[in-house]
């Protein structure tokens, strides 16, 4: 019988959105006075008890989550953006506290989501190892014991007494990761943040996870990359709208996720519904429709391999003081993002700040994507911080068929571009 | 919907009931309001040390004078005060040498004001780190207390040097037995700066106005405290109100201890002590309350 290391019981987390800022002091005062006089909160809307996932800027980010993690589990947590995965991790790592329910934990939790937290640019590498290590919960003696190992692992021993501000960003990440990797937690939390690092870094993260798990410890892994989830995890949990809807094997969860996730929009056209106000609630820019378009002059689902096509986004925006962009991601059937494109990639001339309605078109070349089914996630975000304004996950689907595909299908690669080759040779 | 309910029911039935002592940690919605988690804070004492170390080392990296700045700042303030308030405005110093009079005020006031300013931005200045990793939030203000204490020690040392110099020159200064009360006075100053600081930091997570307020509030409070004038120069009917300022008796007694001028009004000191305890108490409650959820509102 495996022994549990985490027990989550009826966990709920409630957020009020957009209630900070103008007028709060006055509102708080009104509320406080009413409370003193034993009256109900006068600012509460009439039917505010409603516990639907979201209502008027309020959200139950988690609702009655029950979960048990055993020793040796490598648990993949799957769900869309905003399903509640990150909230769960935040409560687990005590960054914020739950509204209801409880979590019981046995052992130390370490996480690879805080790589480099608290690094101070003026301090040397060595000083930062100590600082970062203690922030993550070690004591100085522990750090001293592992110092040599950490320095070795990071591979920057000759710069260890140089201030971190002189490091390249790669060196900083390596050092930070080396510290995190030597924390030796009983429970390791890995967020998909590791997708930010380079391939080398990701490989190290994944290596570390397998190592931790092989010692009979537990790993909680959050990612949108179904390929790495299915490769690494031995258990899966699917979260939607703040509740666990499936707790089972990894394959079950992935299959369910990919199926329910693509309400297979075969029309090649996405239109905004009035009820579609999910994501952040800030709607400075609203995308009203998205279309996959070819020379046939109508939305399409099926595209030939050798056919060029376009994505057309119609949007309406208010005046925005910031630069913005519309982006999209093409995601293959395994959940791997094939690529991302930003409307400001080429030029930012058309990013007017004034209130307007407009259209953005992106041209995709022929002979690029491997035949198969793809989904598109698109949305808008602020620049330069890339804070997402709204995002529509997997809202469009299309298929690249094999018409015009003349290559040997057995070859490897996420994409299959048709490239130009030139031959130069001399008879000798 | 059916599956969801089904699933949830199954889950609740099969959850193993294990005794609480099996777990090393239980996360619940509300902690006890007076639970200071001092034990946890003690566990993180190494982190406090490293934060103090970081503050001290990092502050003066790439400066020529380095830690000497700790001493230059109050020295120049004292000189300016001596020239403007002593020479130009000719405010009374109760017979003490103006230079020492202003320096004693500045040194102890600086400790209070730096602790207060640094502590009051605990939550706003550390959002990035608080948002990623957990450690007792009180670590940051406590570390502040110590790093400012180092600065105070340096300044205090130079104050003593000047004091010695003036005595050697034959000034009429009488340090007395009250010198022994210095740790207590310092503790009260620390507690006041800390208490006010954490109260404000807890409130700034919702009302950012306070960040602005602290800046000039500290300035105003300095003029309301007997830093550049002795309490005895105030008109009789004002003195009661000035005494309600918890800083006033501390500064006065500090000065009396080293310079022999000023007052040793113990009722005032007692009142101040009670007020500081009250502020500290309120601060801790508020800090505790905000600590758990401020990441959601900041």
Query: Which residue of chain A has the CA closest to B291?
Result: A96
- Does residue A350 carry a pLDDT above 70? no
Residues near A17 by beta carbon (within 8 Å), at least 6 away in sequence: A57, A58, A59, A281
Tell me what the mean pLDDT of segment B190-215 comes to: 87
Question: How close does chain B come to A229, measured CA to CA in Å?
Answer: 23
Res. A261: pLDDT tops 60: no
Task: Give the model's pLDDT for residue A201.
Answer: 65
Q: What are the residues facing A62 on neighbouring strands?
A: A13
CA A344 from centroid of its chain's CA atoms? 21
Predicted local confidence at residue B142, as pLDDT: 93
pLDDT for the residue A213: 77
Given pLDDT bands bounded at 50, 70 and 90, which one contains residue B191?
Answer: very high
- Shortest CA distance from B131: residue in chain A: A95
Mean pLDDT of B175-189: 90
Token couple for B237: 């009917």
Q: How far apart are CA B182 and CA B184, in angstroms?
A: 5
Mean pLDDT of B262-266: 77
Helix residue ranges, H only, B126-265: 127-130, 139-168, 182-204, 209-224, 236-243, 247-259
Question: From the CA of A44, how many Å to the nearest CA of chain B?
Answer: 18
Q: What is the DSSP letter of A2?
A: P
Band of pLDDT at residue B140, cut at 50, 70 and 90: very high
The side-by-side arrangement of strands in the sheet containing A74-78 is A109-111, A187-190, A218-222, A74-78, A235-240, A243-248
CATH 3.40.50.300 domain range(s) in chain A: 90-96+107-261
Asked if B11 and A122 come within 8 Å (Cβ–Cβ), the reply is no
Evaluated on CA atoms B13, B15, B18, B20, the torsion sign reads negative
Distance from A7 to chain B by nearest Cα, in Å?
Answer: 8
At the fourth CATH level, the homologous superfamily of domain A269-401 is abc- transporter (atp binding component) like domain (2.70.50.60)
CA A348 to chain B, closest CA, distance in angstroms equals 30
pLDDT band at B9 (very low <50, low <70, confident <90, very high): very low
From A73-87, A107-121, B3-17, the region with the lowest mean pLDDT: B3-17
pLDDT bracket for residue A45 (50, 70, 90):
very low
Give percent of chain A with pLDDT exceeding 70: 81
Indicate the average pLDDT of chain B. 84
Chain A residues touching B25 at Cβ < 8 A: 104-106
Residue B184 has, within 13 A of its CA and on its CB side, a CA count of 13
Contact B54 A107 (CB under 8 A): no
Q: Is the peptide bond before B98 cis (omega within 30 degrees of 0)?
A: no
Lowest mean pLDDT among A74-83, A254-263, B130-139, B264-273: A254-263
Does residue A14 belong to the interface with chain B, where contact is any CB pair within 8 Å? no
CB atoms within 10 A of CB B38: 10
What region does A23 belong to: left with phi over 0, alpha with psi -120 to 50, or beta?
left
Closest residue of chain B to A94, computed from CA coordinates: B134
CATH class of the domain whose range is A90-96+107-261? alpha beta
Indicate yes or no: CB of A135 within 8 angstroms of CB of B47.
yes
Minimal C-alpha gap between A376 and chain B (Å): 27
Average pLDDT, chain A: 79
User: Could you tell me the pLDDT band of residue A28, with boundaries at 50, 70 and 90?
Assistant: low
- Reduce the secondary structure of A126-168 to three states and give it as a string: HHHHHHHHHHCCCCHHHHHHHHHHHHHHHCCHHHCCCEHHHCC
All residues of chain A having their beta carbon less than 8 Å from the beta carbon of residue B132 are 95, 113-114, 117
State the pLDDT at residue B123.
Answer: 84
Spatial contact of B184 and B249, defined as CB atoms under 8 Å apart: no
Structure token pair of residue B180: 């022994």
- Whether A374 contacts A317, CB under 8 Å: no
- CA-nearest of B216, B242, B245 to B231 is B242
pLDDT tens per residue, range A121-173: 888 889 889 988 888 888 889 899 989 988 888 888 888 888 888 888 778 87
Alpha-carbon distance B14 to nearest alpha carbon in chain A (angstroms): 10
**Among A293, A276, A302, which residue's Cα sits nearest to residue A391?**
A276
Of A67, A105, A131, the CB nearest to B50: A131
* Interface probe, candidates B12, B40, B62, B132, chain A, greatest A C-beta count within 10 A: B132
Q: What is the pLDDT of residue B198?
A: 92
SS3 A351: coil
Is a pLDDT exceeding 70 seen at residue A234?
Answer: yes
> Average pLDDT in the B256-263 region?
83
What's residue B193's pLDDT? 94
By CB atoms closer than 10 A (0-12, 13-18, 19+), residue B30 is exposed
Interface probe for B, chosen from A66, A87, A166, A252 (most Cβ of B below 10 Å), is A66
Q: A330: pLDDT confidence band, cut at 50, 70 and 90?
A: very high
Alpha carbon of A57 to those of A96, A389, A428, B239: distances in Å?
Answer: 19, 15, 76, 52
pLDDT grade for B170, boundaries at 50, 70 and 90? confident
Distance CA A30, CA A212 (A): 52
The per-residue pLDDT for A192 is 64
Residues of B in contact with A91 (CB under 8 A): 27
A100 min Cα distance to partner chain B (Å): 6
H or E stretch including A198? Answer: none
Q: Does A316 touch chain B (CB under 8 A)?
A: no
Q: Count the alpha carbons within 13 Å of B247 in the hemisphere toward its beta carbon.
A: 22
Residue of B nearest to A26 (CA): B207
* Of B188, B165, B147, B179, residue with least CA distance to B270: B188
Q: What is the pLDDT of residue A292?
A: 92
User: Mean pLDDT, to the nearest integer, of B35-43?
Assistant: 80
**Residue B129 · residue B206 · CB < 8 Å:** no
Burial of A286 (0-12, 13-18, 19+ CB in 10 A): middle
pLDDT at site A83 = 82
**Tens digit of each residue's pLDDT (9 = 90 or more) over B89-110:** 888 887 788 889 999 999 999 9
What ipTM was predicted for this assembly?
A: 0.78
- Average pLDDT rounded to a whole number, residues A204-217: 77
Mutate to test the interface with A, among B9, B11, B139, B140 (most CBs of A within 10 A): B11
Closest partner residue to A245 (CB to CB) among B3, B53, B133 is B3
Contact B29 A97 (CB under 8 A): yes
Please say if the pLDDT value at position A271 is more than 50.
yes
Report which of residues B124 and A17 the model is more confident about.
B124
What is the layout of strands, in order, in the sheet containing A100-105? Answer: A54-55, A58-70, A4-16, A100-105, B25-27
């Amino acid at each position: 019988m495996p022994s549990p290391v985490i027990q989550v019981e009826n966990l709920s987390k409630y957020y009020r959105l957009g209630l900070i800022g103008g007028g709060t002091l006055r509102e708080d005062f009104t509320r406080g006075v009413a409370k003193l006089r034993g009256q109900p909160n006068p600012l509460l809307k009439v039917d505010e008890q409603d516990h639907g996932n979201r209502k008027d800027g309020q959200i139950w980010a988690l609702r009655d989550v029950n979960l048990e993690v055993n020793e040796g589990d490598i648990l993949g947590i799957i769900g869309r953006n905003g399903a509640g995965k990150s909230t769960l991790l935040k409560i687990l790592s005590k960054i914020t506290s739950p509204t209801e329910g409880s979590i019981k934990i046995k052992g130390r939790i370490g996480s690879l989501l805080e790589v480099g937290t608290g690094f101070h640019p003026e301090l040397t590498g060595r000083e930062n190892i100590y600082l970062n290590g203690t922030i993550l919960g070690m004591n100085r003696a522990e750090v001293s014991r592992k110092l040599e190992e950490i320095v070795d692992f990071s591979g920057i021993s000759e710069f260890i007494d140089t201030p971190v501000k002189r490091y390249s960003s790669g060196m900083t990440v390596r050092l930070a990761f080396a510290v995190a990797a030597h924390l030796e937690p009983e429970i390791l939390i890995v967020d998909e943040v590791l997708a930010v690092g380079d391939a080398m870094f990701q490989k190290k993260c994944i290596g570390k996870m397998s190592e931790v798990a092989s010692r009979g410890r537990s790993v909680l892994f959050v990612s949108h990359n179904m390929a790495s989830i299915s490769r690494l995890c031995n258990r899966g949990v699917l979260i939607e709208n703040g509740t666990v809807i499936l707790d089972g094997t990894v394959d079950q969860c992935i299959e369910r996720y990919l199926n329910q996730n693509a309400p297979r929009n075969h029309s090649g056209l996405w239109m905004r519904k009035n009820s579609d106000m999910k994501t952040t609630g800030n709607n400075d820019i609203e995308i009203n429709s998205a279309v996959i378009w070819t020379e046939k002059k109508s939305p399409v689902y099926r595209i030939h391999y050798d056919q060029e096509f376009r994505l057309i986004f119609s949007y309406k925006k208010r005046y925005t003081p910031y630069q913005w962009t519309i982006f999209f991601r093409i995601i293959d059937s395994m959940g791997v993002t094939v690529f991302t494109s930003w409307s400001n990639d080429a030029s930012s001339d058309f990013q007017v700040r004034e209130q307007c309605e407009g259209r953005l078109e992106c041209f995709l070349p022929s002979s690029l994507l491997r035949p198969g089914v793809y989904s598109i996630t698109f949305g808008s975000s602020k620049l330069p911080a890339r804070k997402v304004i709204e995002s529509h996950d997997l809202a469009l689907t299309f298929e690249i068929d094999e018409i015009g595909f003349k290559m040997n299908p057995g070859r490897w690669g996420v994409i299959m571009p048709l490239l130009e080759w030139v031959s130069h040779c001399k008879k000798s | 919907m059916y599956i969801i309910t089904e699933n949830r029911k199954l889950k609740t039935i099969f959850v193993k009931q294990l005794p609480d002592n099996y777990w090393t940690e239980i996360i619940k919605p509300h902690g006890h309001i007076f639970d200071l988690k001092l034990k946890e804070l003690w566990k993180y004492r190494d982190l406090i040390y490293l934060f103090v170390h970081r503050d001290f080392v990092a502050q003066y990296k790439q400066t020529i004078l380095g830690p000497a700045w700790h001493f230059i700042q109050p020295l120049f303030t004292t000189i300016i005060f001596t020239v403007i308030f002593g020479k130009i405005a000719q405010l009374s110093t109760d017979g003490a040498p103006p230079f020492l009079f202003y320096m004693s005020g500045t040194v102890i006031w600086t400790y209070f004001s730096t602790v207060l300013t640094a502590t009051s931005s605990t939550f706003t200045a550390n959002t990035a780190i608080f948002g990623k990793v957990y450690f007792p939030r009180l670590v940051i203000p406590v570390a502040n207390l110590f790093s400012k204490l180092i600065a105070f020690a340096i300044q205090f040392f130079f104050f003593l040097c000047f004091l010695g110099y003036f005595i050697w020159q034959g000034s009429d200064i009488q340090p007395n037995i009250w010198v022994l009360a210095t740790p207590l006075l310092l503790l009260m100053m620390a507690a006041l700066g800390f208490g006010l600081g954490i109260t404000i930091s807890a409130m700034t997570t919702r009302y950012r106005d306070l960040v602005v307020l602290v800046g000039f509030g500290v300035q105003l409070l300095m003029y309301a405290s007997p830093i550049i004038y002795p309490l005895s120069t105030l008109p009789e009917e004002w003195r009661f109100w000035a005494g309600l300022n918890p800083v006033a008796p501390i500064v006065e007694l500090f000065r009396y201890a080293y310079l022999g001028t000023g007052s040793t009004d113990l009722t005032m000191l007692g009142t101040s002590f009670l007020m500081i305890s009250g502020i500290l108490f309120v601060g801790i409650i508020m800090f505790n309350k905000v600590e758990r959820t401020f990441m959601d509102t900041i």
